[in-house]
């Protein structure tokens, strides 16, 4: 997907990274921030690009889709330029690449915080905070931080992740920054961690996530679309964003599911990554535009 002009821009970015590392801080300082978190329609459309740092590189039937950083950046820049796209969620490496490319002015930027539970590892549930922390998010002028909370009742490492997430929620709230919590009830099966996507499991996950930290004033939830969403979302009054998950076999069905869930009062938008950046037909612009349309 890489075109020559964009490849030249990324080559220049790589040169700056090697010769002038201070350029990252300079780009963050001059980034134009937008005045409000929500878009004009009271919704949020955020692109998710924090998968590679957890070793999760696949998208659909492409096991290494996200391994090509130039291609990923081109897709992100294309998507960020589409009308109705409010911002991006990523780890420091991705966010700083986008800053150096000048792609984040007047965009909401959310820093991904705990990427230590590497996909497929024996320690996957131990989701340590290995990326952004709250002081760095505030210092770089980002708009919030996102954390993954997988709760496995059989794995003692869950307690460490719970404690770390609670601390991050409190620290972000102290700076009046969004704390985006993505909670799941998880189980290990056949050596792999699987999220339990039943209404009862998601209801429990949302209830636990809502109570993290010393205040919930700045907490948002990142939630998958499951059956009986009305009952699931009744577990909390906190604002929520719907996640995209894996590249769907039926994109139209996924859009319809988002549209139904967006009618619920606490659901305020979407946080979608692979299903928009790597759609089955590889038409990123069309996939993004279709997702924006369901926001109304």
What tens digit of pLDDT does each residue of 123-150 get?
999 999 999 999 999 999 999 999 999 9
Residues 6+ apart with CB under 8 A from 58: 64, 65, 66
Q: Helices marked H in 175-271 — which ranges?
A: 199-210, 229-233, 251-261
Which two three-digit tokens encode residue 174? 């102290």
pLDDT for residue 99 is more than 70: yes
Q: What is the mean pLDDT of residues 76-101?
A: 98
CA-based nearest residue to 280, from 47, 62, 76:
62
Q: Residue 103 — very low, low, confident or very high, per pLDDT cuts 50/70/90?
A: very high
pTM here is: 0.95
Share of the chain above pLDDT 90, in %: 90
CATH number, domain with residue 245: 3.20.20.70
pLDDT for residue 60 is more than 90: no
More confident residue, 4 or 6: 6
CA-based nearest residue to 176, from 148, 209, 143, 147:
143
Tally of domains in the chain? 1
Instruction: Summarize pLDDT for 254-296 with one digit per residue, the tens.
Output: 889 999 999 999 999 999 999 999 999 999 999 999 999 999 7
User: Measured in whole angstroms, how far is the alpha carbon of residue 169 from the centre of its chain?
Assistant: 16
Instruction: Summarize pLDDT for 8-21 with one digit per residue, the tens.
Output: 999 999 999 999 99
Identify the pLDDT of residue 39: 84
Q: Residue 1 — very low, low, confident or very high, per pLDDT cuts 50/70/90?
A: very low
Instruction: Summarize pLDDT for 206-232 with one digit per residue, the tens.
Output: 999 999 999 999 999 999 999 999 999
Instruction: Summarize pLDDT for 170-183 with one digit per residue, the tens.
Output: 999 999 999 999 99
How many CB atoms neighbour CB 154 within 10 A? 9
pLDDT for residue 3 is more than 70: no
d(CA 202, CA 287): 27
Q: Which domain, by its residues, includes 205?
A: 4-294
Identify the pLDDT of residue 137: 98
pLDDT for residue 4 is more than 70: no
d(CA 277, CA 279): 6
Average pLDDT score, the chain: 95
Identify the pLDDT of residue 249: 72
């Amino acid at each position: 997907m890489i075109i020559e002009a964009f490849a030249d821009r990324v080559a220049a970015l790589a040169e700056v990274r090697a010769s002038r590392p201070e350029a990252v801080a300079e780009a963050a300082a001059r980034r134009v921030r937008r005045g409000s978190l929500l878009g004009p329609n009271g919704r949020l459309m955020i692109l998710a690009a924090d998968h590679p740092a957890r070793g999760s590189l696949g998208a659909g039937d492409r096991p290494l889709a996200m391994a090509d950083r130039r291609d990923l950046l081109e897709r992100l820049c294309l998507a960020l330029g589409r009308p109705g796209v409010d911002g991006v969620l990523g780890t420091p490496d991705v966010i700083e690449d986008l800053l150096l490319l000048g792609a984040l002015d007047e965009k909401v930027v959310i820093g991904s915080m705990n990427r230590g539970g590497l996909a497929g590892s024996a320690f996957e549930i131990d989701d340590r905070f290995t990326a952004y922390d709250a002081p760095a998010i505030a210092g770089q002028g980002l708009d919030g931080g996102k954390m993954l909370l997988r709760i496995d009742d059989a794995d003692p490492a869950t307690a460490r992740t719970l404690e770390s997430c609670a601390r991050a929620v409190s620290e972000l709230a102290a700076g009046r920054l969004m704390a985006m919590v993505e909670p799941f009830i998880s189980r290990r099966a056949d050596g792999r961690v699987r999220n339990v996507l039943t209404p009862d499991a998601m209801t429990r996950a949302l209830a636990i996530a809502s109570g993290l930290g010393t205040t919930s004033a700045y907490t948002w939830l990142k939630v998958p679309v499951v059956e009986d969403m009305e009952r699931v979302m009744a577990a909390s009054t906190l604002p929520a964003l719907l996640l995209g998950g894996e590249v769907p076999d039926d994109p139209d069905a996924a859009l319809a599911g988002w549209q139904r869930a967006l009618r619920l009062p606490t659901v305020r938008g979407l946080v979608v990554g692979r299903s928009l950046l790597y759609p089955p037909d590889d038409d990123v612009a069309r996939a993004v535009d279709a997702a924006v349309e369901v926001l109304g």
